[in-house]
Chains A and B, each alone.
Chain A
Amino acid sequence: MKFEKKRASTKQEIPTSSMPDIVFMLLLFFMVTTTLREVDVMVQFKLPEAEAIEKIENKRLVSYIWVGNDERIQLNDNIIKLDDVQKLMYQKRVEMPNVIVSLRVDKNSNMGIVTDIQQELRKADARRINYSTMLKQ
């Protein structure tokens, strides 16, 4: 007498037909969340560290000003002079009324240049600022 092996009547394969859909969904998520780095930072700087820091909730509102260890100022893609800060920031503020200016200043610079930049920002009426810092470990 021959015995036939009992086989499960259900299919034993994982359905793969919807895999592309799932993958595309993931893909879309990452495409939307990615903010590709738009600018090359041309100055060298090391951020200071602090404990009582907060996150910037809305990254799209942020506009950066870099100050390197040689006191050069970079805004957008260019190294600029201090006198140009006001004009350029004013343009930004017209485009984005509630712009947050993130100051990425080298930790060994003097307060003189920071004060000067702040003064220019006040003239341009871009008054929401954020001193970029790392979390102290």
Chain B
Amino acid sequence: MVRIKKKKNSGAEIPTGSMADIAFLLLLFFLVATVIDVDTGIGLTLPEYQETQTDVVPLSKDRLAAVLVNENGDVLINKEIIAIPQIKGYLTDRIRSKITLPSNKKLVVSVKVDRKTNYNLYIQTLDQVRGAFNEVREEYSATTYGTNKFEELNEEQLKDVREKIPIIISIAEPEQIK
């Protein structure tokens, strides 16, 4: 009788030698497909929508810096005509003078534009306003805590800087839509 030999199953393992290659291929795909572009921009919070214009207490002249930009890019701050790059210098003085005042006396910057104003001009204006606030914050931080880099401040110091110089920008209600 012929004995039928059982075949020995010797190679019952999955070959893992090429696994690294496959993984590298996948890795390459994700490396290429990844977009690590951070979204940058100027953040704002819009005011709540109100059906009817409610009566509001007008801010005192001293607290308010009304920035008006017309369609030609002329800027009117408190009845003075200046150019967009001058906004920063004008505002820093006023913000600086209010550092020690209580929080209900800080400067409010109101930005108002025409419907035909160019969007780019509007962004430049907002940039100038934010730049002014940031500059005063940096100055304050440098004189109080010895550094003008916010990353080096701890939580409490950062909170203090934010409290002393809050960024209050108000986008004025457009006149044509009500």
Chain A positions within 8 Å of B, measured between CB atoms, are 16, 19-20, 23-24, 26-27, 30-31, 33-37, 48, 50-56, 59, 62, 100, 102, 105-112, 114-116, 118-119, 121-123, 125, 127-135
Report yes or no: A23 in contact with B24, Cβ–Cβ below 8 A.
yes
Interface of A is mostly: mixed
Report yes or no: B49 in contact with A107, Cβ–Cβ below 8 A.
no
Assembly CA distance A118 to B26 (angstroms): 43
Pick the 5 closest A-B CB pairs, nearest first: A30-B30, A112-B115, A52-B130, A122-B49, A50-B127
B124 on the A face (CB < 8 A): yes
Assembly CA distance A59 to B34 (angstroms): 14
Closest chain A residue, CB of each to CB of B128: A52
Report yes or no: B130 in contact with A108, Cβ–Cβ below 8 A.
no
B42 on the A face (CB < 8 A): yes
> Given contacts A52-B131, A131-B123, A132-B39, is CB(A111)–CB(B46) below 8 Å?
no
Minimum CB–CB distance for B75 against chain A, Å: 14
Report yes or no: B127 in contact with A52, Cβ–Cβ below 8 A.
yes
Closest chain A residue, CB of each to CB of B114: A111
* B contacts with A, residue count (CB < 8 A): 44
Report yes or no: A119 in contact with B23, Cβ–Cβ below 8 A.
no
Report yes or no: A59 in contact with B43, Cβ–Cβ below 8 A.
no
Closest chain B residue, CB of each to CB of A58: B39
Assembly CA distance A127 to B47 (angstroms): 7
Residues of B near A122 (CB, < 8 A) are 46-49
Assembly CA distance A130 to B42 (angstroms): 5
Minimum CB–CB distance for B30 against chain A, Å: 4
Assembly CA distance A129 to B39 (angstroms): 13
Residues of A near B44 (CB, < 8 A) are 128-131
